[in-house]
Structure 1
Amino acid sequence: MKIISVILLLCCVMVLSCGDDKSSESQTESIENTNQNAKITAKTIENIDYKDYALSPESEKMIVTWERYQELAMQINYLKKADFSFFNGDKELLKKFIDEFKSQIPEEVKTNPTMSRIAIIETSLLKLNENLTIDNIERKDKITGIKDVFVAFSNLNYQINRKLERDFYDKIQHE
């Protein structure tokens, strides 16, 4: 009689245990699905909608010596391909890069509107760094941070083009 009770008890425990495995699997699957949705791919970044201003050929000639600008443009192109290595790296290195970026500005470009665009780039770069390095930030916030960097850089290009165009028209009026 005791043996039958023990066997029944073991059978009940086994039946109840089997039910727990299914819930564990579904939890694991939902975690994996969430991780898949959290990945930001080049296709995701390609679908970000913003106005992308390129530098005019005259503007490119004017800033050809601005090494940090060229490096930032290259890193933003990498970001468009979902390479986050520059943007989710060490914050101190990013701050050092930003300081060098600001200190190397050519005198022809150094105006208040341009400096304000550079301040916006600095803020958006640091914000993106925080969004990418902290684990509990939602995917949509990371994408918004990426868009902010794109928009800030595009607006800097637009401002540089405007500055050069304004200088050109000022020369025409004085003659």
Structure 2
Amino acid sequence: MIAKTHEYNIFVIRFTKFMKNIFLILVLCLLSCQDNDSESSQLTNEKAINELVSKADIDALKYTDFVADAQVEKAVSGWAKYRELSSIILDVKSGNLSFFKSNKEIVATLNNELKSTVPEVVSSPLILARIVAVETKMYKLEGVINLSSPTKESILETVKELLVAYSNLNLQMNKQLERESQRIQKPY
């Protein structure tokens, strides 16, 4: 009888240790799954925004799109940050808004460098004001996209504001270089 109770006690002790190990393994598995879930939800959120607003939606926006003419392109050919901004605007026009998703520092750096590296030939208070307008709209779009649940209408409205601000920057540079080319020196 004592041997059976002793064997039973040993069995219970071993079984208890075994169940503790199984419990620990299950807890570790659940905790590790939780980390992957947050990463996948972030990717899902980014995909949701890109699927929420398509190229067709952005093409349907009504605004006047001014492009930089050949004279402006030549004058700003060395302005790397303007080219980077142009590339971002092309991405936005194609429906790719990933630049603005959780990218606050890069957006701020681009805006600061864009303002500080303006070439002399296009540097004027009017153009600097247009650059500040583009900067404001970029921050606004970045804020709208990073909301927990942005609406399609709010994203499209902010995208339109950014595209209009960029278009106005191009128009202002076109006007300034055109005015400078029309200046005629008066004989004394």
User: Do both share a fold (TM > 0.5)?
Assistant: yes
How well do the aligned residues superpose, as a CA RMSD in angstroms? 1.7
- Aligned match of 1:158 in 167, 171, 177? 171
Shift of 1:85: 1.5
> Matches of residues 91-110 of structure 1 in structure 2 within 5 Å?
91-110=104-123
Q: Which blocks of at least 5 consecutive residues in structure 2 are unaligned?
A: 1-47
How many residue pairs end up in the alignment? 139
Could you say if the C-alpha distance between residues 58 and 174 of structure 1 is closer, same or farther in structure 2, counting changes exceeding 3 Å?
Answer: farther
Corresponding letter in the other structure for 2:87: M
Match of 2:101 among 88, 93, 104: 88
- How do 1:22-101 residues align onto structure 2 when only pairs under 5 Å count? 39-101=52-114
When normalised by structure 1's length, the TM-score is 0.75
TM-score, normalised by the number of residues in structure 2: 0.70
3-state SS, counterpart of residue 86 of structure 1: helix
The aligned counterpart of 1:11 is: none
CA distance in 2 between counterparts of 1:66 and 1:120 reads: 18
Q: Distance in 1 between matches of 2:102 and 2:113?
A: 17
Give 1:174 shift: 3.4
Greater Cα radius of gyration, structure 1 or 2: 2
Mapped pair 1:174 → 2:173: no
Structure 1: unaligned runs, 5 residues or longer: 1-34
1:139 Cα deviation after fit: 1.6
Deviations 1:96-125 (A, max 9, x none): 111111111001111111011011001000
